[in-house]
Chain A
């Protein structure tokens, strides 16, 4: 195998791993090799390393796809309403008087310093933690991605899809098809024999996010889900958030990063209550 052919094979592999369909990946690799040959150059010299170039191409394809087919934005019914929500652990107040109304088709970002109760608020919205006072109303069909321990380290992605799918009443085949499709939207093609413990931190988080969306929920709750993401995956993630929004879901994202916040509909900044 010549160095050009080897580069082409690597490019194809990395494109497929980044979520590009196999047929399209082969076609693209062939086109790039032909272009390099026409230019009389080695593809490594012309395009750079196959892995980096595959990442750039995959990102471009996803962005272009989103631009070609923009979805109508739908403002739906209220999917989450928090009224004067307070949480105390013994004498320590973590949240005080939090109000928020989130509709389908809207994105809310919850920001605040460490210890300001962001994760506690998300858990209250999910129903995993009980508020001390105030009222919480939310849509029953919810997707929930906690910050940690949201996946089992000893299960593969496919086994996760089947387990979560069974909770939603799906059969194994359907769960696997939907999970794989959603993974590809985040630029990841799950391998059948790799358990979560052997995935990188960023890929584990992608699995975490995909599991939260498996049942097409009306409300998606995400707790800093992009930790470990590289720059491309981070952009893919926010693209995905806005796709969910455009499709009519309400999305609540806990974050400590300030990028992209100008695009959200609600910004809920939590102070450290003990210090306020």
Chain B
């Protein structure tokens, strides 16, 4: 219940960041158009653009919600529900972006394996959302976090994808999956891409989830002995239909 409420609430917050949402849609488009003459690069750049946009959205969403989430956890909200609720909202937004760009690719490119494009965009969104959360928890300030993400994405764009170091980067799988979608290559690319995606996804989620729990979990405080021995008492104006339980020794 809390998880879904947090997800719906986060979606409402995101929907009111209209300018930010506009850039979330525009950034991948710019990446795509700048390389549209080279289909496999256009596709890979599009995926990286989607990843960057959604990771940045996740970063800002988690940083902005940090104090409110701390307050909610103090009054009893589960840090796990808060984390996954916000992730659910970001992933939903990301899937809408992915869907729109899948249609764009289908219309503007002659892709031999079109379903692989959908797979590419969805896996990118699924990695980007927890990646942004990881950065927000390690660097809990918007500017510094955005610069950290910029560094990761710049590395992702500039590093030699055949090198060993490239495989340590979170979106290496986009190269394998984009190659599988466009070029006449075997299923090895698909398998390698999916394996890298699965490992990256699990690592990002585990780190972000654990860090989120560590940051949000309130200090455990015992109730005073007298309080534990007390019995409920209703004396408060409980409002329209609110039940109330005060305590009396």
> In the assembled complex, which residues on chain B have CB atoms less than 8 Å from the CB atom of A187?
none
Contact of A164 among B75, B238, B249 (CB under 8 A): B75
Q: Chain B residue with minimal CB distance to A172?
A: B5
B239 touches A182 (CB 8 A): yes
Q: Chain B residue with minimal CB distance to A212?
A: B75
Binary contact track B50-76/A, C-beta < 8 Å → 1, others 0: 000000000000001101101110111
Known: A166-B2, A178-B240, A249-B246. A144 touches B224 (CB 8 A): no
B242 touches A174 (CB 8 A): yes
Known: A144-B71, A144-B75, A159-B9. A79 touches B246 (CB 8 A): no
Contact of B5 among A154, A162, A246 (CB under 8 A): A162
A140 and B12 alpha carbons, distance in the complex (Å)? 30
Question: Is A130 engaged at the interface, CB distance under 8 Å to the other chain?
Answer: yes
> In the assembled complex, which residues on chain A have CB atoms less than 8 Å from the CB atom of B1?
166, 169
Question: Is B223 engaged at the interface, CB distance under 8 Å to the other chain?
Answer: yes
B12 touches A155 (CB 8 A): yes
A78 and B222 alpha carbons, distance in the complex (Å)? 12
A174 and B225 alpha carbons, distance in the complex (Å)? 32
B242 touches A79 (CB 8 A): no
B248 touches A77 (CB 8 A): yes
B227 touches A79 (CB 8 A): yes
The interface centre, meaning the residue of B12, B17, B74, B222 with most chain A CB atoms within 10 A of its CB, is: B74
Contact of B12 among A80, A154, A174 (CB under 8 A): A154
A243 and B246 alpha carbons, distance in the complex (Å)? 13
> In the assembled complex, which residues on chain A have CB atoms less than 8 Å from the CB atom of B239?
177-178, 181-182
Find residues 18-76 in chain B having any chain A CB closer than 8 Å to their own CB: 64-65, 67-68, 70-72, 74-76
Question: Is A52 engaged at the interface, CB distance under 8 Å to the other chain?
Answer: no
Known: A144-B74, A144-B75. A248 touches B224 (CB 8 A): no
B70 touches A163 (CB 8 A): no
B236 touches A127 (CB 8 A): no
Find residues 189-243 in chain A having any chain B CB closer than 8 Å to their own CB: 195, 215-216, 218, 243
Contact of A142 among B2, B6, B74 (CB under 8 A): B74
A149 touches B224 (CB 8 A): no
> In the assembled complex, which residues on chain B have CB atoms less than 8 Å from the CB atom of A215?
75
Would you give the shortest CB distance from A176 to chain B, in whole angstroms?
A: 9
Known: A154-B12, A154-B17, A164-B72. A178 touches B248 (CB 8 A): no
> In the assembled complex, which residues on chain A have CB atoms less than 8 Å from the CB atom of B229?
77
9-residue interface stretch from B123-131, B171-179, B213-221? B213-221
A195 and B17 alpha carbons, distance in the complex (Å)? 12
A138 and B242 alpha carbons, distance in the complex (Å)? 23
A129 and B245 alpha carbons, distance in the complex (Å)? 27
Question: Is B110 engaged at the interface, CB distance under 8 Å to the other chain?
Answer: no
A140 and B224 alpha carbons, distance in the complex (Å)? 10
A71 and B65 alpha carbons, distance in the complex (Å)? 38
A163 touches B6 (CB 8 A): yes
Question: Is B233 engaged at the interface, CB distance under 8 Å to the other chain?
Answer: yes
A158 and B200 alpha carbons, distance in the complex (Å)? 38
A76 touches B247 (CB 8 A): yes
Question: Is A257 engaged at the interface, CB distance under 8 Å to the other chain?
Answer: no
Question: Is B162 engaged at the interface, CB distance under 8 Å to the other chain?
Answer: no
| 17 additional A-B residue pairs with CB within 8 Å, beyond A80-B224, A152-B64 | A72-B235, A76-B249, A77-B248, A124-B219, A127-B74, A128-B218, A130-B219, A139-B224, A168-B75, A169-B1, A178-B238, A181-B240, A215-B75, A218-B246, A218-B247, A248-B235, A248-B236
**Which 9 A-B residue pairs are closest in the complex by CB-CB distance?**
A149-B67, A247-B236, A127-B218, A248-B246, A181-B239, A166-B5, A78-B224, A177-B240, A77-B226
- Name 18 A/B residue pairs within 8 A (Cβ), A-sorted: A76-B248, A77-B247, A126-B74, A127-B74, A144-B71, A144-B75, A149-B68, A154-B12, A163-B9, A167-B77, A174-B242, A177-B240, A178-B239, A180-B240, A244-B236, A247-B236, A247-B246, A249-B246
A residues whose Cβ falls under 8 Å from a Cβ of B: 71-72, 74, 76-81, 104, 124, 126-130, 136-140, 142-144, 146, 148-152, 154-155, 159, 162-164, 166-169, 174, 177-178, 180-182, 195, 215-216, 218, 243-244, 246-249
